[in-house]
Chain A
Amino acid sequence: MIDIVITGTGIVSAIGVGKEETLRSLQEQRSGIRPLRYLKTEHHEFPVGEVQLSNDEMCALLGIDPTKQPTTRTALMGMVALKEALEQSGLSPDQYPHIPLISGTTVGGMDKSEQYYLDFLENDSRNEYIRTHDCGACTEMMADHFGRFKMLTTLSTACSSAANAVITGAELIRAGRAECVVVGGTECITKFHLNGFASLMILDKEPCRPFDASRAGLNLGEGAAWLVIETAEHAKLRGAKSLARLAGYGNACDAFHQTATSNDGEGPYRAMKQALECGGITPDQVDYINTHGTGTGNNDLTESEAMRRLFGEQVPPFSSTKAFTGHTTSASGTIEAVICILAMQQSFMPVNLRFHDAGQCLTPVHETTKKPLHYVLSNAFGFGGNDSALLFENEGMTARNDNSSFITPNSSLKKVYLLSAAQISAQEPLCDDWKENPVALTEPLTRSREADYKQFIPPLEARRMGRILKRAIATARKALADAAIETPQAIVTGTGLGCIENTEIFLDALCREGEDQMMPTRFMSSTHNTMSSIVAINLQAHGYNATYAHNTVSFQSALMDALLQLRRGAVGNAMVCAHDEMTPGYHALLCKSGYLAGKKATECAVSMVLANENNGSAICEVAGMRLLHRPTEAEKQNALEELLAETRTADYQMTEGYPELFGVNYTTPALDVYAAAHLLNVKPIVVRYNDENHYSLILLRPCSDC
């Protein structure tokens, strides 16, 4: 049986730098919602929850010289919190190369992108910040400050990103792929999303009032929080003190709307229900819920409804701490997880500030309440209906139950088959005929050949979709039809840059024309999880849904996630997708940064259907994979040997991909796997990816060998 404990936490938000100050603010009811101070914006009408440190002050705390290396606010806040978590865990830097680090963010390096965008276009003074834009770069900056970790990846599911980082970390531990994982999330306030949320008209000009009848929207917050999670055995062996147990978790998709929540709260309901089932407890055992509770009319009503559905008349005491911190968006999952752990340790329930009248919502905890807490649930919901819930257990209280679904015997691990795959790329779209007559890539940038989208997407839906979204739906529909599966049980997407076309249009208008550019539709489709969630909405797929945005290993991360779940039988089938688009403007910037200079840049859309049973027409078996961060030559060799031994593979071939067919973009490895699977003959094939930061191996095996 696998027991996952938390041995270190770190937190920074508007209510404090570090746990001590955070706890004091919570207990003394000191809110961090204040007038804008650090962000340079015209929108002073909106109060925010800013971390009360400038970038220079954070650099000083961390011993970083900002003139010598590029830094972003998101990464700096992440480092401050990560330092506290690592120090408390007692891990030493020589252990980091054995520990995966998983972060969650959506903003990534946007604070510097919006500051220097015009420089990027006009001169060479800020070129080093072009590649700090993506979410993965933010994670790499944070990790590099402390040393080398075993593997790095980044989830970007909007406001549930950090919660999903915790879930992926726990899955790695359950699968025996790691004994200890560092998980967290970070996000700073930017002009980009402040203007975006303003255009959606969901920002309150007063301090927010979650669950109150007078609530009129959210206040943006910022911050970061990290957890060191490990097996109880590993913690015991190294003498680390456990702070709490991670008892369960759930991830589901509302599959309703890009920015609105459903009336019946299907996604939130499923996420919370799964978390309780995973932890093997009944609803009446939950002592406190830290809700998502943003303060928007829509969220708080939906969340109330989901709690009513799950808990009936006996809804546990709950509160939203966003009235303290503001909505810390991608970081909120772990910021609120750390708040839950502090609450359990101090036996109190944080109060829901500024509450007077519930109206149609449920009534939260609105007076300071001392109470021993055994089980605590923490909710994090994101745009696109990416809804997650984490369940924590106070170890100090009574003997734990044995109903937990963490009891997973390793011997029953299932095989995984690739049932179908569909692509839209530089080659003939939505078919496999490109092999006969491949298109040669001659230009520095070759856009994908578009398919006929009318057969997949009704015009009223299509009118708001950028190319990347149309490709996502078309490849998903085609792959599912080929696999004869109507609704996948999980959808996991990898994307290096997300909807970069909409992001660029929004950023360009913001930087050139100022802050009165209201573009709700562009903003709504600028998050990285838009593809995964729009496919879920199109298919009405309420199952597991996640998006990885870690530059060159986005697809490999998504595949790893799906494999973990398919192998242990959590799902029977899963769709793994990889999407990246490229605009001429952003292409020019990436050439300037060095990344695409002299290369044949392309775009990518791939959807693959995987299952843990062969339906008789599988293309091949996905026998195993490895994903490593800056491994040594010996570690690379070792990873290959381990993979071959684990899959009992003696004779194999190796490919580094097919750049002559599919060019270069962040998710080309998905096209490489697609092509390798179709070119596979009798021998297993290892698809290898290798760059200065990442190394991955994916082993495909013909079904005759399965």
Chain B
Amino acid sequence: MEELILKLKKEIIEVLNLEDIKPEDIDENAPLFGGEGLGLDSIDALELIVLMEKNYGIKLQDPNQGKEIFKSINVMADYISKNRTK
């Protein structure tokens, strides 16, 4: 899991172009969206859906599912580890 979390952080930084942020700056339990955490928005959510599909073979049908899955890095890593097809 530790490994997946670090990999996921690196992938998110790359795909969302979070230039000034390092993996260790991201708190695994902090919300990804909204003011308190990384401050991501609905377009970032779409990019994360694409990331899950391309890197882990997980296809979400409804963008609203993302709201639950992208709560934090921990929640996302947990979902991926349970549902990944690659």
Contact = CB atoms under 8 A, between A and B. Distances in A.
B53 A459 contact: no
A518 B20 contact: no
Given A201-B63, A460-B39, A520 B19 contact: no
A650 B67 CA distance: 67
Nearest to A519: B50
Contact of B47 (A258, A460, A520): A520
Contacts of A199: 46, 50
A520 B43 contact: yes
Given A200-B46, A521-B43, A464 B17 contact: yes
A260 B41 CA distance: 11
Contacts of A258: 43
A460 B50 CA distance: 20
Nearest to B19: A463
Interface string B14-42: 00111110000000000000000001011
Contacts of B42: 257, 259-260
A86 interface: no
B18 A463 contact: yes
A98 B56 CA distance: 61
B50 A459 contact: no
A257 B41 CA distance: 10
Interface centre among A201, A257, A460, A524 (most CB of B within 10 A): A201
Interface string A193-207: 000000111000000
B49 interface: yes
Contacts of A460: 39
Contacts of B41: 257
Q: How large is the interface on B (under 10, 10 to 19, 20 to 34, 35 or more residues)?
A: 10 to 19
Contacts, number: 35
Interface of chain A, main secondary structure: loop
Contacts of A464: 17, 43
B74 to A, nearest CB: 22
Interface in A76-128: none
Interface string A478-522: 000000000000000000000000000000000000000011110
Nearest to B41: A257
A459 B19 contact: yes
Contacts of A463: 16-19
Interface in A225-278: 257-260
A453 to B, nearest CB: 12
Contacts of B46: 199-201, 520-521
A460 B20 CA distance: 10
Interface in A149-206: 199-201
Interface string A439-461: 00000000000000000000110
Nearest to A518: B50
Contacts of B18: 463
A199 B53 CA distance: 12
Contacts of B49: 201, 518
Given A260-B42, A518-B53, A459 B47 contact: no
A519 B54 CA distance: 11
The 4 closest A-B pairs by CB, nearest first: A520-B46, A463-B17, A518-B50, A201-B63
26 contacts: A199-B46, A199-B50, A200-B46, A201-B46, A201-B49, A201-B62, A201-B63, A257-B42, A258-B43, A259-B42, A260-B42, A459-B19, A460-B39, A463-B17, A463-B19, A464-B17, A518-B49, A518-B50, A518-B53, A519-B50, A520-B43, A520-B50, A521-B43, A521-B46, A521-B47, A524-B43
